Structure 1
């Protein structure tokens, strides 16, 4: 596959020639320097880690008492409703489901070996997700039984999945979704499993990262008819907003040695940059979609939903990247007397930052300031590897 170099790598002479060549069509050309679309187009939304901590389960319990909905007294829908307009608008929406799903009535467990309410998978479906990656460092927290219960819950909710499997045949079958007539495959890999080993008699249980295995999975997807391949990958160091050397090296190998069209990363629980390598967009880390760490860091409440516009131009897929900053509202812990600061938030809620600021209803001055910080810090992180030069921009600007 022919891959053009990133615009950052064009020499000054080549860039001048390019601008001169497009001047006849307006300041930047009527098509922004791209060949006219000659094929289908579709949009993809992809968000960060879904990791249900005990405080979120308790919030779902409180919300169920208000809504009268949910199952076994848990309703996660209100918690994630803020992002539904974006997720449900995409032609293909991809989530990352990190923990093990258990039984609706529990018992549930938190770190280090998660078992979370399967009711969250119903909410994942309700807000518009089509498919989830399931390869993470927590996939093997409860062995093959946990893998089965997780995939059973996603199946029951009607959400596609890839990355772990209940058998060899399931593992070998690519996850291919028809998106506006285009066959799109999702792959999912993770670097390790918190010290758990993949059982020798069940090598298909979860996908462990290697460039060889990624190439083989892409080849199977292409052989099965996939026209576009998207890789979800669990990598990097937790709570580090800078991608490490392993991520940077592997991203370049994927871009140069495979035909994968988009790489979306998870695991850091904080936002990491996006970068275009050749023709391949890499989102190193999308932060948290929803989580409530024992000690919130400020960065761990901030996340991003990547928005990717695929268009066939000149027989090749052109991908344009945008982003939606998000923020998780977390109620403060009460003090020794059981009191919380006046005016503090009372519920865990996922917020589309730009949409909330544009609407503005009921926001305190503190919330306005915090949302602006989340947007600006997310933007700064996303752009710090030159992605702005390759066209990365917010789906909706900061009001």
Structure 2
């Protein structure tokens, strides 16, 4: 604040022999090495402005971004059939995501693992070689998703064309993808509220479909897990002035409830190399989350987010844990004055895939469990699922760390 060194106020005046005082509105202010006559009210206003400017200049500029991530997004054959309207001969997958939409829409960036392809010139199919109507991508876009990881063991299920069509369809609907590429560009950096977030994605393998691409194509079209490459990619994306680095990784062993020693070792290595958020997929069940502190900064790993949506469940494969998923919302904060970015908050939103039949039609819906248990959702079936959801939520939260 500028200092007013001397203020002279002319306050006394004698009038017609009667002693009295008149307060003049004019004030002499010592400013800029001279006395300046100004209006009293304007001085007070100047003082207020100067004080406000000083307060504003000392305040730290801070921005926050909400990143929401989900696990495996899969469409088995029964799901494709459930989305088909025989009258219009069109597909509509929106029903599946109507209950979680408020979460994905509210996030600044919503990210998931798209574990299928959308090739348009061949028939649709489920396991073992997936192919899904591209309307599934439209539903994800309308639900609020922004980025899809496409590096997984099913990304070559329909060959090179399936991989390329999927990328093009994702882009057609205004989303972005990471992990598979048409050209040699494997760096995605998104800037939100002045925070630059780098995204990388890798898969352990391709179900033996590697021969669908030439060696050269394989090197740049699919990011496979290679420690030297991951380390170099992290260093390269750091050079793009990123504040935080997110790695989606398809790894581990299917249906195992705990991460393997390899997952944990590689996860720690990636943090050492500079990754801040590591999002695991592939086991189709939820595995634990973990905080690793490095140089005084917390970094987050979840080894498997479970299934966000699929037809895997107790009735189809005698494994109820495949019905469970978790949405993780990470609040990322950047202090511009200090040049520091950190994970400020972590929220877990357990989900469950609700499959039911009504009016001779099959439905799949992702339910945010707490919303249902709190009475905020009215689901379209008569079956009492409360006990099942309570167990699912308990199982999920038992694996999540508190931040």
Asked if these proteins are the same fold (TM beyond 0.5), I'd say: yes
SS of the aligned residue for 2:182 comes to: coil
Q: Distance in 2 between matches of 1:199 and 1:56?
A: 33
Match of 1:284 in 2: 303
The residue number in structure 2 matching 1:206 is 222
Gaps of 5+ in 2: 1-58
CA distance in 1, matches of 2:131, 2:159: 12
Matches within 5 A, 1:4-15: none
Q: Which residue of 2 aligns with 1:259?
A: 274
Pairing 1:59-70 to 2, within 5 Å after superposition: 59-62=82-85
Residue matched to 1:142: 158
Alignment pair present for 1:310 and 2:332: yes
Separation in structure 1 between the aligned mates of residue 162 and residue 108 of structure 2, nearest angstrom: 30
8 Å contact 2:69–2:329 — kept in the other structure? yes
Cα separation, 2, equivalents of 1:89 and 1:108: 32
Residue 378, structure 1, aligned to residue 403, structure 2: no
CA 1:351–1:226 in structure 2 vs 1: closer, same or farther (change >3 Å)?
same
Q: Any conservation in 2 of the 1:42–1:309 contact (CA below 8 Å)?
A: yes
Please state whether the residue corresponding to 2:110 is helix, strand or coil: strand
Q: 1:374 to 1:125 in 2, by over 3 A?
A: same
Normalising by the residue count of structure 1, what TM-score does the alignment of the two structures yield?
0.77
1:237-256 equivalent positions in 2, closer than 5 A: 237-256=253-272
Change (3 A) 1:288 1:296: farther
Question: How much has 1:360 moved relative to structure 2?
Answer: 5.0
Secondary structure, aligned partner of 2:374: helix
Q: 1:272 aligns with which of 279, 287, 293?
A: 287
CA deviation vs aligned residue, 1:234-270 (integer Å, no higher than 9, x gap): 01111112101110110111112x2211001110111
Note if contact 1:144-1:166 (Cα within 8 Å) is conserved in structure 2. no
User: Counterpart of 2:50?
Assistant: none
Partner of 2:323: 301
Cα drift, residue 225 of structure 1: 3.0
Query: d(CA) in 2 for partners of 1:288 and 1:230?
Result: 20
Q: Which has the higher contact order (CA 8 A, sep 6+)?
A: 1
Shift of 1:297: 1.7
Verify the 8 A CA contact 2:202 2:223 in the aligned structure 1: yes
Q: Please name the residue that 2:46 is paired with.
A: none
Worse-superposed segment, 275-284 or 353-362: 353-362
Asked whether the equivalents of residues 195 and 334 of structure 2 are also in contact (C-alpha less than 8 Å), the reply is: no
Shift of 1:346: 5.4
Distance 1:344 1:238, change over 3 A: farther
C-alpha deviations, 1:74-126, integer Å up to 9, x for none? 110111111111111111111111111122x8511221111111111111111
Distance 1:88 1:288, change over 3 A: same
| Alignment pair present for 1:97 and 2:114 | yes
Matches within 5 A, 1:35-184: 39-62=62-85, 72-103=89-120, 107-168=123-184, 171-172=185-186, 174-184=187-197
The change in CA–CA distance for 1:362 and 1:134 in structure 2 (over 3 A counts) is closer
Conservation of the 8 A alpha-carbon contact between 2:197 and 2:243: yes
> CA offset at residue 129 of structure 1?
0.8
Aligned match of 1:324 in 349, 354, 357?
349
On the 8 A contact 1:37/1:312 being kept in 2, the answer is no
Contact 1:39–1:315 (CA under 8 A) maintained in structure 2: no
Q: Is the 8 A contact 2:119 2:158 kept in 1?
A: no
- For residue 344 of structure 1, report the CA deviation from its aligned partner: 12
CA contact (8 A) 1:91 1:180 kept: no
Kindly report the root-mean-square deviation, in angstroms, between the aligned alpha carbons of the 2 structures. Answer: 2.4
1:346-394, Cα deviation, whole Å (9 max, x unpaired): 5211111111222255466731111111111111122xxxx23xx2xxx
CA contact 2:119–2:161 (8 Å) conserved in 1: no
Match for 1:219 among 231, 235, 240?
235
- CA positional deviation for 1:274: 0.4
- 1:21 alignment partner in structure 2: none
Structure 2 CA distance for partners of 1:369 and 1:212, relative to 1, 3 Å = same
For residues 175-194 of structure 1, the aligned pairs below 5 Å read 175-194=188-207
Question: Greater strand percent: which structure?
Answer: 2
CA distance in 1, matches of 2:135, 2:161: 18
Distance of 1:161 and 1:368 partners within structure 2 = 36
